[in-house]
Amino acid sequence: MKGVIFTHLQEMVETQMGFSVWDDVIEACELGSEGIFVSTFLYPDEELFAIVGALSEKAAIPAEDLVEAFGFYLFPKLHESIPVSVFAPGSMWEMLDGLDSIIHMEVRKLDKHAETPRITVKSSTDNEKVLEYRSDKKLCRLAIGMLKSAAEVFHEKLSISMPVCMHDGHDCCELVVTRDA
Amino acid sequence: MPELDPVRESAAIKKALDRERKARKLAENLLEDRAAELYLANQELDATIARLKKSNLQLLQSEKMASVGQLAAGVAHEINNPVGFISSNLGTLREYIADLSEVIEAQQKCIGGVSQLAEKALANDSANYAELLEELNEVLKKVDLEFLLPDVRDLLDESIDGVKRIRKIVADLSDFSRVNSPDYKLANINTLLEKTISVAWNELKYKAEVVRNFGQIPEVKCNSGKLIQVFLNLVINASHAIETRGLMTISSKQQNDTVIVSISDTGIGIAENKLASIFDPFFTTKKAGNGTGLGLYIANSVIKSHQGKIEVESTLGVGTKFNVILPIAGPKMEDDGENDKDNKKTESEQ
């Protein structure tokens, strides 16, 4: 996992929960990195899962909800970091269409170590898109948090559901994004 | 979330700051490593660019020598012809010299005899004089000086012409084969076209009637060695395009601030779908071994370096016409400098 994910998580916890909360979590996890994160370095996925687990316990928030909240926090940060010259979608729908073929492809071009999930559009109408999410990390709730955050960025009112999930033994998750009337 | 303890929060901030410093150090180390890698990669890239520039010039020279190779048999024939008659003339001249020696000997003998008679005061002995003159006349009759002396002049004139022809062919050929000088100098394009025709003559004379439509054109600032290579390539291509016998028209004219050289043939023509590729490297319609596929690519780059252009019009079964458009003033200064710099470097390397 790229360090940038850890640094954003750290920033979210420190600003929204307090420095002592982040410090307690780092101390509790006994991480190989000692909690020293550089955005361009790579760190084991297990460190992220350990931090989320310890945070969930400490804050008494279910881990999935924490991950979704982090996705919500993360989207604007990553959105800002994509150069306009690469992709500047004008709408949520446009962004979803170019998510895998443009954004993730460009991220991988810029950073060969980036491990982006595969999110493809399974079906699409004017008001509904069904996205298939595939990732060994199974961070589908992170994707949901990011989609909700994206809706705010693009001033759209959307409902997002996940009728099929990898955590229930499926090959992939299905995220249904519906435009509210 | 429970209320935060300010003392614990402050201690945590200090620890966070410490972690940030360590992270920054790691990031700085990475930056330094990357900068060093980048510097080395850049050096490698510079060396590669230098090698590429050198190979490009070597390629240019190899292509030129390949066309010399194609012309070699023809040039040898062109040289062989005068060498043949010069050799025959020299043989005849040797015989003439032998005859002339005989005449000179007879004359000397005659003069010697007359002197002796005079010394012996036998000057009035006409019988002896008659005998001496008779011997001389016999030799003169045999040698036929009346025919021999003008023929000696003819043979010498013809041989001198032959030697001049050889010298011209060899000079044109060595002009062409020489490693290109980097300089852009004023040159008469019509003279360059004449040199081109001279070098390729044996290739052309059996394939085409060559028509020259050379106009009154000003001198052009150009690299004449490279331009001859371009013209030669176009002329040889035109000759190869003619299957049995045809017409090749080579013309020059001034148009505004450019000189346009046109080389057209009545050959097989180029298919429309291939016209776009003819300037691509390694593109050739000739059989393997008959062309490197670099000729037009190099011609195009040479003309581009003059800030001119090559245009082509072709109709299958009718023929092809190449127009080479050259700015009279030569390439603009900045390009000039770039070319000079590259070529000088290579010259010193060679």
Q: For chain A, what are the domain ranges?
A: 3-61, 70-179
Residue B19 forms contact with A (CB below 8 Å): yes
Burial of B172 from C-beta contacts in 10 A (0-12 / 13-18 / 19+): buried
Q: Given B13, B26, B30, which is nearest A36 (Cβ)? A: B26
Residue B11 forms contact with A (CB below 8 Å): yes
Q: Does residue B36 lie in a domain region?
A: no
Question: Tokens representing B270?
Answer: 């180029």
Which residues from B are below 8 Å from A20, CB to CB? Answer: 4-5, 8-9, 11-12
Residue B35 forms contact with A (CB below 8 Å): no
Residues B44-80 pLDDT 10s: 999 999 998 888 778 777 777 777 776 776 677 778 7
Q: Count of alpha carbons within 13 Å of B350, Cβ hemisphere only?
A: 15
Residues B16-48 pLDDT 10s: 999 999 999 999 898 888 888 999 999 999 999
Q: Does residue B22 lie in a domain region?
A: no
- What pLDDT score was predicted for residue A82? 73
Residues B148 and B186 in one domain: no
- What pLDDT score was predicted for residue B347? 35
Which residues from A are below 8 Å from B8, CB to CB? Answer: 20
Q: Which of B139, B167, B195 is the last residue of a domain?
A: B167
Q: Calculate how close chain A gets to B37, using CA atoms only, in Å.
A: 17
**A20–B5 CB contact, under 8 Å:** yes
Residue B31 forms contact with A (CB below 8 Å): no
Look up the CATH number of domain A70-179: 3.90.1520.10
Q: Calculate how close chain B gets to A30, using CA atoms only, in Å.
A: 14
Residues B240 and B121 in one domain: no
- What pLDDT score was predicted for residue B112? 79
Residues B195 and B327 in one domain: yes
**B9–A18 CB contact, under 8 Å:** yes
Residues B158-189 pLDDT 10s: 888 888 888 877 877 777 666 666 778 899 99
Q: Does residue B12 lie in a domain region?
A: no
Chains A and B form CB pairs within 8 A to the count of 46
Q: Which residues in chain B land under pLDDT 70?
A: 1-2, 70, 73-74, 119, 121-127, 176-181, 285-292, 333-350
**B15–A23 CB contact, under 8 Å:** yes
Which residues from B are below 8 Å from A8, CB to CB? Answer: none
**B19–A14 CB contact, under 8 Å:** no
Query: Alpha-carbon Rg of chain B, whole angstroms?
Result: 38
Q: Calculate how close chain A gets to B33, using CA atoms only, in Å.
A: 13
Q: Does residue B348 lie in a domain region?
A: no
Residues B215 and B152 in one domain: no
Burial of B220 from C-beta contacts in 10 A (0-12 / 13-18 / 19+): buried
Q: Does residue B175 lie in a domain region?
A: no
The residue range of the domain holding B256 is 180-334
**Strand pairing partners for B53?**
none
| A34: closest chain B residue by CA | B19
- What pLDDT score was predicted for residue B247? 93
Residues B133 and B243 in one domain: no
- What pLDDT score was predicted for residue B215? 94
**A36–B30 CB contact, under 8 Å:** no
Residues B275 and B206 in one domain: yes
Q: Does residue B15 lie in a domain region?
A: no
CATH of the domain at B316: 3.30.565.10
- What pLDDT score was predicted for residue B336? 43
**A19–B26 CB contact, under 8 Å:** no
Q: Does residue B69 lie in a domain region?
A: no
Print the SS3 string covering chain B: CCCCCHHHHHHHHHHHHHHHHHHHHHHHHHHHHHHHHHHHHHHHHHHHHHHHHHHHHHHHHHHHHHHHHHHHHHHHHHHHHHHHHHHHHHHHHHHHHHHHHHHHHHHHHHHHHHHHHHHCCCCCCHHHHHHHHHHHHHHHHHHCHHHHHHHHHHHHHHHHHHHHHHHHHHHHHHHHHCCCCCCCEEECHHHHHHHHHHHHHHHHHCCEEEEEEECCCCCEEECHHHHHHHHHHHHHHHHHHCCCCEEEEEEEEEECCEEEEEEEECCCCCCHHHHCCCCCCCCCCCCCCCCCCCHHHHHHHHHHHCCCEEEEEEECCCEEEEEEEEECCCCCHHHHHHHHHHHHHHHHHC
Q: How many domains does chain B have?
A: 2
**B5–A21 CB contact, under 8 Å:** no
**B12–A40 CB contact, under 8 Å:** no
| B24: closest chain A residue by CA | A38
- pLDDT mean values, one per 10 residues, chain A (181 residues): 91 94 94 92 92 94 94 91 73 85 78 83 90 92 94 90 93 92 71
Residues B193 and B327 in one domain: yes
| A25: closest chain B residue by CA | B12
- What pLDDT score was predicted for residue B149? 85
**A36–B15 CB contact, under 8 Å:** no
